[in-house]
Amino acid sequence: MRNKLIYLVSFILLLSVAGRVQAEPFSLGAAEDITLGNDARYGPDASSDGSGLEARDIPSRRHVVMISYDISALKNEGIFSDVSFSHFSHDLHGETNVYGVIESLDILEVESLTWNTAPGVQNDPTPALDAPIELDLADLTDALLTFSGPGQIAVRFSTDTSDALADFLNSDTDGIVTFLFAASAENNQLIVRSMEHAEGGSFLEGDIGGFLENARSPEPADGALLADTWVTLGWRPGDFAVSHDIYLGENFDDVSAGTEGTFIGNQTANFIVAGFPGFAYPDGLVPGTTYYWRIDEVNDTEPNSPWVGPVWSFSIPPKTAYAPDPSDGAESVETDTALSWTGGFGAILHTVYFGDNFDDVNNAAVGLSQGSATYTPGPLQMAKTYYWRIDEFDAIDTYKGDIWSFTTEGAVGSPDPANGAEDVTQTPVLTWVPGVFADSHEVYFGADVASLELKGSGNLGAESFEPGQLEWNNTYYWRVDEANNANADSPWTGPLWSFSTANFLILEDFESYNDLDPDDPMSNRIFNVWLDGFDNPAINGSVVGNELPPFAEQTIIHGGSQSMPMSYDNAVGKSEATLTLTSSRDWTVKGINTLTIWFRGGAGNAAENLYVALNGSAVVNHDNPDAALRNSWTEWNIDLQAFADQGVNLANVTSITLGLGNKNNPVAGGSGVMYFDDIRLYAPAP
């Protein structure tokens, strides 16, 4: 049995950019760090238990953390790419915003600062203890900004913008970069290990030395929501670009493929206008529409030109109300809650419909009209589902809103699959958390709302239901009603939930694994299912799982919340991990003909052959000998006929093996770490 110790939670923001020349990895520790608080100035161990730096927002203790790095030596080595910022924490409540302080105000000697002298931390030099933390972060975006006013100090980094952190480092000219952590909401807290702490502090990690050939730093940021019907799109050119091919459209796949109708033109300027007469979409951008765009960098003197860029997007808000609070499907909502929403594009009047019956709210024609985007329904019952709808009026037309729902505290909740989940296995096990008053339940299930049928019942402690084999690519609805004969408010009708099955067979998504003790009957550690070379390193150099919990990877993922990390050391010739199939062994259903595996390696890996084997012997190798060097998620599609030609009975596949090296003729090689996710089987498109 492996001896893997529980360690600190790792909080990592991964931000990546495209590169041309293979770069060298770097890891840089903090040069200075400190916690600044309204009630005191803290040293390297600021938290109450002396474990690290504390960012917190509560009325009596409002703190931010500032950390500086000296990157002057690294800047002489080339361009930063594939950069991540990491710090180790033992305590995290809620989200913490990370900001990069602009160059004119960054300070290497941050330990000399106080709460009142730190740039932009607050506007009032003597704040009351119950005053909120104030950061003058006007006009924030997810790209580097040019600041002109006093107190404007930072640009926020977001996982939505992959290259913001690398751009921030590459734009620096004085060799000093400083970051600020601030709680994103009241009562949030983060304990950051200080640089003096025994376990180490915060680190900048990534690659340096390569060139960046792709367009990057889209403006507006990828995924932005714009409150207008025209836009100026800008970007930072690739290092070799002479001109830019521009694609814009309303369909992701069309823009990604560059199909006819999405090509706007080629130009030397690094901006375009859309939604304005004389430009693309001259009649204006349409509310409620998402637009996709792509920039390919062109240089006819370069043999690798054009360099195809990533697909970015922006959206125009809909005419209907959106962003409800409580969110649609919210659980455990307080009984005295107030409702709020974001008004539709151009809305001047909102009509509110509210009740505990879906059909009544959906069919209602008369509601409460008001100018504000908030509504207080009054005291609500516990353990009850409520429905609400907002119709918007823009002085010309009325736009009927969606039906939203929430459930008050004390009710059944936490459905699995989650409400609205997609790509669910066709043989799911439905589970839920019972309400606080329930001692029995009834499960209703069907292919549409009108056909919900009672499928089963049970008592407290039996919160699961298996609907059997479901159709592919279909939506199903379910509800759990609860009762307690000793409670006068019983029975309680549960909220309506739904999920959609996948149009493919899910072989492995790595979501079921946990870190529970092996003696726990619910233990399902990943390396006990995917068998590696841990117990036989002389012939198999693989080790599945992280060294410390969580053993399944929870940061570097393709889909869901987990992937499988596998280290390889081919000094013994090969490294592989094998899954014995207990279900989904018939690979002929629905005309399945393709095995798909998502994988990711890294620039620091040794270039070893990547292979997959079925039933222990039939092997297919990846056609790229440098596949293990890929530092972004890559889809590998394999025609199942390649295994059938080697004698595999596709109606009875017993195992699948992922490996690096030469399975049949092992040859000593190098080492590295791979990540695998979303192993699926697809049928031909209809």
Residue 293 sits in a domain of what CATH number? Answer: 2.60.40.10
- Find tokens 């080595």 and name the residue: 77
Neighbours of 318 (CB within 10 A): 18
Q: Are residues 69 and 202 in the same domain?
A: yes
Which range among 124-138, 308-322, 581-595 shows the weakest confidence by mean pLDDT?
124-138
Name the β-bridge partners of 579.
530, 656
Q: Name the domain boundary from 271, 288, 315.
A: 315
Which range among 38-52, 161-175, 331-345 shows the weakest confidence by mean pLDDT?
38-52
pLDDT interval class at 208 (50, 70, 90): confident
* Rounded Cα–Cα distance for residues 609 and 616 (Å): 17
Q: Are residues 644 and 517 in the same domain?
A: yes
Entry pTM:
0.61
Q: Name the domain boundary from 455, 487, 503.
A: 503
**CATH code of the domain covering residue 660:** 2.60.120.260
Amino acid at 515: D
Q: Are residues 163 and 250 in the same domain?
A: no
Q: Are residues 136 and 21 in the same domain?
A: yes
Which residue from 675, 673, 655, 660 is spatially nearest to 552, judged by alpha carbons? 675
- Which DSSP category does 344 fall into? P
At residue 165, does pLDDT exceed 80? no
Q: Are residues 106 and 192 in the same domain?
A: yes
Name the β-bridge partners of 544.
566
Instruction: Give the domain range for residue 383.
Output: 322-408
In a domain, residue 3? The reply is no
In a domain, residue 366? The reply is yes
In a domain, residue 220? The reply is yes
Amino acid at 121: V
Q: Are residues 294 and 336 in the same domain?
A: no
Which residue from 163, 169, 283, 285 is spatially nearest to 233, judged by alpha carbons? 285
Q: Are residues 68 and 136 in the same domain?
A: yes
pLDDT interval class at 466 (50, 70, 90): very high
Q: Are residues 158 and 67 in the same domain?
A: yes
At residue 6, does pLDDT exceed 50? no
Query: What's the number of domains the chain is made of?
Result: 5
In a domain, residue 1? The reply is no
Model pLDDT, residue 183: 67
Which range among 139-148, 380-389, 390-399 shows the weakest confidence by mean pLDDT?
139-148
Which residue from 618, 616, 624, 610 is spatially nearest to 676, judged by alpha carbons? 610
Q: Are residues 600 and 615 in the same domain?
A: yes
The pLDDT tens digits for 617-637 are 999 999 999 999 988 889 999
* Rounded Cα–Cα distance for residues 45 and 334 (Å): 37
More confident site: 239 or 468: 468
Model pLDDT, residue 586: 96
* Rounded Cα–Cα distance for residues 543 and 527 (Å): 8
Q: Are residues 344 and 456 in the same domain?
A: no
Taking residues 229-249, what's their average pLDDT?
A: 94
The pLDDT tens digits for 653-678 are 999 999 999 999 999 999 999 999 99
At residue 603, does pLDDT exceed 70? yes
At residue 142, does pLDDT exceed 70? no
> What's the mean pLDDT when you consider all of the chain?
84
Q: Are residues 303 and 198 in the same domain?
A: no
* Rounded Cα–Cα distance for residues 681 and 686 (Å): 15
Q: Name the 3-class secondary structure at 419.
A: coil
More confident site: 327 or 124: 327
Model pLDDT, residue 35: 82
Q: Give the strand pairing for 330-333 and 403-408.
A: parallel
